Structure 1
């Protein structure tokens, strides 16, 4: 491999591999290896096949997405954004939600309607996202518009007046009712760390009845029923909003 002349001892050892006794030993060792470790190789092969399938899906999805860009809007993509997206995508192609985000990012970087919103950090943000992060950020986009804010709340335990409270847990988010609210709370904190959302309890949404679902949440109902006096619980209403970076991220990285 190094294109150098091997010492005679090593050269002879390599040649001996083709001799009958050595070849037989090699076969025997190989057979024993398969008996002991064969399942590991099988699992690895299965992973490779699965990855190759996902990679081909990614290629086809990207090709289809690029082909839908009107010819008059096609532009040369940013090398920085595209190279980073492809590099980071290789770690995420097996997750549909993340793969589709990379597909949107790369194809929209070639579209003049979106190019000004593309930021080099988007590829790294997607790479660090969990599938749940992706599902939550996707809620901010409908087919017609970008939704700026969604409802969130804290269940606050009051011990000695409104200025002394403990939130349990930090953020209650119920827009994905089939997902544990504590997992959603973790994802909101992660999305906030990425800089794509901000969480505030200083303002709330004006949509009628949008916070009613929190009043019927089992955790809230249970605490109201079983907490001893003088501990009180109340709901602090708030909003999860897209930051300016988040608005560009949703516009670029989420396909309609």
Structure 2
């Protein structure tokens, strides 16, 4: 185990990786390091001075294989260091069955292809690192279409204010969330990141006998322009494989 960790640590040095790739590794060393010669060139693109934690090694190899399957060698480019450093550091502590892993993975692949690097902003890695899995799911669902909400409030004549808020109908997919009770927090957080917004599309007074007794509103939650760019760069087009 000690020898394995030493080899992985050395692989995190870009110069060492380059020499290993150029000179070729013997099969026993490849087996110990668990990063084959066909993957080392991809590793060289993003490792730089970063170090691989032992528990991250297997997951990183899976990512490299996916990257090599999706991006042909002639289209591979060096990704921005400020992006890879954030993504890989966060990914060390995320399991494969977490949708945030897939978002980091998608973002890195897009940043390592000359065909899609223009879609990537360095801040995207930081944003993913702030999300919960439920928030990632909401972003994916919003990319399919806006959430429609109809609510109603009563008018208190004495205080001249609306109260007794209640939702009449909603397409917010709370049944898909692990913690649906936290939706209001999720919305506030995603809005603070300039990813989504919730405008009222129309509002009509509720009247009884000609007197207004309340108000009824239609609103929709949708992605901002920035949110659409974020989704395009960070969420797999087919959605998350870890969520049914």
TM-score (normalizing by structure 2): 0.59
In structure 1, the residue matched to 2:199 is 200
Residue number in structure 2 paired with 1:18: none
Give the 3-state SS of the residue equivalent to 2:228 in structure 1: helix
Output the CA distance in 1 between the equivalents of 2:54 and 2:171.
Answer: 36
Aligned counterpart, 1:150: 147
Residue matched to 1:177: 175
Cα displacement (A) at 1:52: 6.2
- Name which of 228, 241, 244 aligns with 1:247: 228
Aligned to 2:114: 112
CA distance in 1, matches of 2:109, 2:57: 16
Question: Larger deviation: 152-161 or 116-125?
Answer: 152-161
Q: Provide the aligned length of Structure 1 versus Structure 2.
A: 175
Separation in structure 2 between the aligned mates of residue 174 and residue 106 of structure 1, nearest angstrom: 30
Spell out the pairing of 1:40-119 with structure 2 (5 A cutoff): 56-93=58-95, 96-119=98-121
Query: 1:59–1:196: structure 2 CA closer, same or farther, 3 Å change rule?
Result: farther
Distance 1:94 1:168, change over 3 A: farther
Shift of 1:250: 0.4
Distance 1:185 1:231, change over 3 A: farther
Cα deviations across residues 199-218 of structure 1 (Å, max 9, x unaligned)?
Answer: 111469xxxxxxxxxxxxxx
CA distance in 1, matches of 2:75, 2:134: 33
Bigger strand share: 2
> In the aligned structure 1, how far is the partner of 2:64 from the partner of 2:152?
43
Deviations 1:130-165 (A, max 9, x none): 111111111134xxxxx463323444343239x732
Which structure has the larger Rg? 1
Q: How far off its partner does 1:181 sit?
A: 4.8
State the superposition RMSD in angstroms: 3.5
TM-aligned CA distance change 1:181 to 1:93, over 3 Å: closer
SS in 1 for 2:172: coil
Segments of structure 1 that go 5 or more residues without pairing to the other structure are 1-50, 142-146, 205-229
CA shift digits 1:227-253 (9 cap, x unpaired): xxx996664221112112211110011
Alpha-carbon displacement from aligned partner over 1:170-189 (angstroms, at most 9, x marks no partner): 9x662233546532222111
Distance 1:185 1:107, change over 3 A: same
Q: Is the 8 A contact 2:202 2:217 kept in 1?
A: no
Q: Secondary structure at the match of 1:139?
A: helix
Answer whether contact 2:80 2:122 (CA < 8 A) is retained.
Answer: no
Q: Could you list the runs of 5+ residues in structure 2 that have no partner in the other structure?
A: 1-52, 204-210, 238-244
Q: 1:133 aligns with which of 110, 135, 138?
A: 135
Q: Does the 8 A contact of 2:146 with 2:220 survive in 1?
A: yes
